[in-house]
Structures are given as C-alpha cells and as structure tokens.
Amino acid sequence: MKFGTKAIHAGVEPDPSTGAIMTPIYQTSTYVQTSPGQHKGYEYSRTHNPTRTALQNALAALENGKHGLCFSSGVAAADAIIKLLKPGDEVISTNDLYGGSFRIFTKVFQNYGIKFRFTNMRDLSKVEALVNANTKMIWVETPTNPLLNIIDIKACAGIAKKNNLLLVVDNTFATPYLQTPLDLGADIVTHSLTKYMGGHSDVVMGAVVVKDEDLAQQLAFIQNSCGAIPGPQDCFLVLRGIKTLHLRMERHCQNGRKVAEFLKGHPKVEKVYWPGFEEHENHEVAKEQMRDFGGMVSFVLKGDRVEDAISVLEKVKYFTLAESLGGVESLCGHPASMTHASIPREDRMKAGLRDSLIRLSVGVEDAEDLIADLEQAIG
C-alpha cells in the first residue's frame, strides 16, 4: 500500500461482531475466560486491549516495522526504552534534545547508574569518539527540537552496527510520512503521539516501533510490568488522527515553507532554522532521508533580545502561545522558558539554543493569515 492508503487501512479491520467500520473503544479492564488460562487473547487491559492492539498494528505498518507498543506519553515510551539498559551502561545522544528527554535521562536514569553523553551529532566523528566498552545505545532526534538540526540516520546506523549498539530514533517531528528510520537502519523508533500523529491537541500518548522480535518482547514485558499504558479512548483518538496524517503533513509542509520563506525575508529577523533551506546544515542529508521538510520553524530576531521575542509571542493572534506542537492549529513557544527550561542555560547556549529563540509549529490554517499574523506581531 502507498502511505495514504496505509494510514487509513493498515492494522484495522471492521468489527467482526457488528461490522462497525471504526475500531470500537473497548472500555473494559478485564475479559471473560472460558476456563482458567483459556481466553480469546485478552486477559487484562494493562497487558492487552483490542483498541490499543489496532493502534499498535497501525503504527507498526506506518513505520515499516513489525511490532508497535503504545505508552501513556512520549516520555513514558522513552522510559521503557532506557529500561532496556542496566547500571554502568552509557548512551550517546545529541546536545540539541527535547527538554523532557534530557530531564528523564539526567535527573532520573543517571541516578540509577546509566551515563548519558551529549554531543553535536551532525559531526559523526564526535559520536565515534565517545563510543567505549560501556556504550550500549545511540539516541537520535532528527529534526531536533528546537533548532531543527538534521542527523544522518543511515550513518549513525553504521556506527551502531559496527559497535553492536542499539540505535533509537525519536521520529516525533518528522512522522513516518516524512521519514522511516527503521528503513535507514534504526533498531527502535519512538514517538510522542501527542504531536503530529494524534494531530488535534486532544490526547497525550507515546509509542515505540521495532522490527526485531526479541526486542519487541523485552519492551512488551516492560510495558506490562511497569504499566504506563494508554486508555482505549486515547487509542481511538490517535487511530482517528492517523487516518488524515498524510493530508495534514502535506499542508504542514506547505505552510511551513511559506512561513519560513517569509521570516527569512523579514528585515527584523536575524536567522531562521528550517531544514528546507539550502544553507541549513545537513540540508542534503535532509533531502535524502526525508520526503519533505516539515512544519516546524524556529527563528531569532535581530538584536537577540529576550524582551523582543516575548513581545512577539504576546502579540500573535492565530499562533497560540502554548506548549506542544503538531496540532492542526498553529502554536508558538519560547523554548528557553517552556519546553527546554529543564536544560541548564549553559548547556542550551553551547548547543546554540539562544534565550530569544522562538519556535513555531505551523498548523494547517491558510498560510496568508499566518504570515499576516507574524507580520503584525513582529512589526
């Protein structure tokens, strides 16, 4: 199936008892057994739920994987992945990372003896230099949050395979519509389904997709044992959301391009971060591993003054100042005080995340209205 057909049909079947075309919401905690240990594949909804199963199958199909697992949030998915490791193990990740991932890595798992090393992963020689006998995992985020840096997934897969490491790719910003990391050599793909996959700012959920059976069983054991699972209503909402993923992503990409080009030409804007520009670092890598360049755009104003950035964020009308991203509505945010506030300022500055940076999640409204909104806010 092509992607659009897959988004609508993969992993789901009409309800066999009624013929309902939409997957039912199985709002139940337990299931009848005909005899002790004899059931229809479902015992208890922490372990399995038919609505969740349909979503997990759909996600696996979209990512060209074999096994999907859903969690109560994107951070819960990350939590499950890191629980594959043990004290003394090390993880290499990018220094331009989502603040929630950085927080759970450094404030939670580091307390349990797992070490995290952060570096500029656009320079793969720096990644290779950090590999040692204790390294067990490479954690990639591409495009990164919020600087939209592009990391070469295939090249990272080469390093991982050579050193017998697990390669994890956070595919939240791109979605499987724009890139499929498993096809590029990744072992694990993770998502905050809260964002583009759900697409309507009405659900919080995370997911993991893999090809390897043993890896799937390990993660399923963690999912069931630790219990950070989503409810069937939320699974239904994401199932509904992914049916229009291809349509929404096309519009996000179109609008993202128009907004980025407008900002690039604005006399008060110093720099625009968007991987579709030829001068964007690793633009050629983005062209090779992505279908398009997405709807996320970040920028800084000339003068690099925090108060100017705050003024813009207070004046917008169609862009809404709020956490999160990837919904049909356009959102804007100030990473230094919002999504990335948990990262020490010194580390943010080293990575290039300035205090005045504004991050836009460009929605699916009419681009002309969004541009007019930014024009009046910037002045």
User: Which residues are designated catalytic?
Assistant: 46, 98, 170, 195
From the centroid of its chain, how far is CA 45?
25
Residue pair 263/277 in contact (Cβ under 8 Å)? The answer is: no
Written as six digits, the tokens of 50 are 């038919």
Give the span between the Cα atoms of 97 and 145, in whole angstroms.
6
Q: What is the DSSP letter of 289?
A: H
- Whether residue 146 is preceded by a cis peptide bond, meaning omega within 30 degrees of 0, is yes
Residue pair 200/241 in contact (Cβ under 8 Å)? The answer is: yes
Residue pair 136/91 in contact (Cβ under 8 Å)? The answer is: yes
CA–CA–CA angle 331, 151, 165 (5° rounding): 120
Give the span between the Cα atoms of 68 and 210, in whole angstroms.
7
Burial status of residue 212 (CB atoms within 10 A of its CB: 0-12, 13-18, 19 or more): middle
Give the span between the Cα atoms of 195 and 328, in whole angstroms.
10
Q: Which residues contact 83 (CB under 8 A, 6 or more apart)?
A: 222, 226
Written as six digits, the tokens of 347 are 């580390």
Give the span between the Cα atoms of 78 and 328, in whole angstroms.
25
Give the span between the Cα atoms of 311 and 46, in whole angstroms.
46
Phi, psi of 313 (to 5 degrees): -65, -25
Residue found by looking up tokens 């897969």 in the block: 157
Give the span between the Cα atoms of 55 and 32, in whole angstroms.
23
Residue pair 125/155 in contact (Cβ under 8 Å)? The answer is: no
Written as six digits, the tokens of 246 are 């291809």
Written as six digits, the tokens of 143 are 């495009």
Q: What is the DSSP letter of 26?
A: -
